[in-house]
Amino acid sequence: MTRVDGRKPDELRQVTILRGWQEHAEGSALISAGKTRVLCAASVTTGVPRWRKGSGLGWVTAEYSMLPRATNTRNDRESVRGRIGGRTHEISRLIGRSLRACIDLAALGENTIAIDCDVLLADGGTRTAAITGAYVALVDATRWLGRPAAITTSIAAVSVGVVRGEPMLDLAYTEDSTADTDMNVVCTGADGFVEVQGTAEGAPFDRAMLDRLLDLAMFGCAQLTEIQAEALRGPAPAGPARPEGTR
């Protein structure tokens, strides 16, 4: 079966990760997966939220958003509507949870890293691209902070789904919108699961199909892990000057 863009069912879209694109941030990455493009920035601040003070532990949080015209038709800004929508909330929480799974918060010290994932162009898989790119920005932020050991594993994410009865990897928007089942999977570099979120949009899926989807997702995440490692080779981009006392 041929896919809309000629890929095989178990084939990822082309993924590129550019580090340091947002020059002011302590870590940043512009990730492209096909026509999905997400700008990820990691901002370091000394100190932690009030409820965490004195614990010796750091904190990592995330926010996701989409530019109004990232998609086929323009969406109103959430700032103009005056409220964050449910989908945005849900994805922001997912990204934050996923990234906290690769961080040793004690090794981070009482510092906060805020991850911003802004979708510049959307063609499906924006939340998983955001997680995959944010990991790279996060690594650079810990390096900038002089605490690279706070990273305990790597984190990558990919979508899988059932399209016209067949399991497929890394769905593009037109595939995603017609899929019977849509699943987002977040894995560590050591084949552990961090998040499994599967939804039957059409017919329910059975246990056998679930197994095939999980296989595909693990296969995809392993490749993304390599692409991340490649991107992270070489020194971190310059980044802002290091404030006194943050190390």
In the complex, the residues that contact its own copies under the rule CB under 8 A are 22-25, 28, 35, 39, 41, 43, 45, 63, 65, 67-74, 77-90, 92-93, 97, 101, 114, 116, 118, 120-122, 153, 183, 187-188, 190-200, 203-207, 210, 214, 218, 240
Least distance in angstroms from the C-beta of 16 to its own copies: 15
Starting at the earlier edge strand, list the strands of the sheet with 111-121: 15-19, 27-33, 36-46, 111-121, 59-66
- Is position 87 annotated in a ligand binding site? yes
Whichever of 53 and 69 has its CB closer to its own copies, that residue is 69
Whichever of 8 and 203 has its CB closer to its own copies, that residue is 203
- Is position 127 annotated in a ligand binding site? yes
| Separation between Cα atoms, residue 185 and residue 126, nearest integer Å | 13
∠ CA 211-214-218, rounded to 5°: 140
| Separation between Cα atoms, residue 203 and residue 184, nearest integer Å | 17
Whichever of 187 and 231 has its CB closer to its own copies, that residue is 187
Q: How many CB atoms lie within 10 A of CB 162?
A: 24
- Is position 220 annotated in a ligand binding site? no
- Is position 245 annotated in a ligand binding site? no
- Tokens representing residue 110 in the block: 């009482």
Token pair 């993304």: residue: 224
Least distance in angstroms from the C-beta of 71 to its own copies: 6
Whichever of 8 and 17 has its CB closer to its own copies, that residue is 17
Least distance in angstroms from the C-beta of 125 to its own copies: 16
Least distance in angstroms from the C-beta of 35 to its own copies: 7
Q: Is 136 within 8 Å of 27 (Cβ atoms)?
A: yes
Whichever of 40 and 168 has its CB closer to its own copies, that residue is 40
Q: How many CB atoms lie within 10 A of CB 186?
A: 28
Whichever of 49 and 233 has its CB closer to its own copies, that residue is 49
Beta strands 59-66 and 111-121, pairing class? parallel
Q: Is 181 within 8 Å of 161 (Cβ atoms)?
A: yes
| Separation between Cα atoms, residue 20 and residue 28, nearest integer Å | 5
Least distance in angstroms from the C-beta of 109 to its own copies: 19
Least distance in angstroms from the C-beta of 122 to its own copies: 8
Residue list for the binding site for phosphate: 87, 125-127
Residue list for the binding site: 87, 125-127
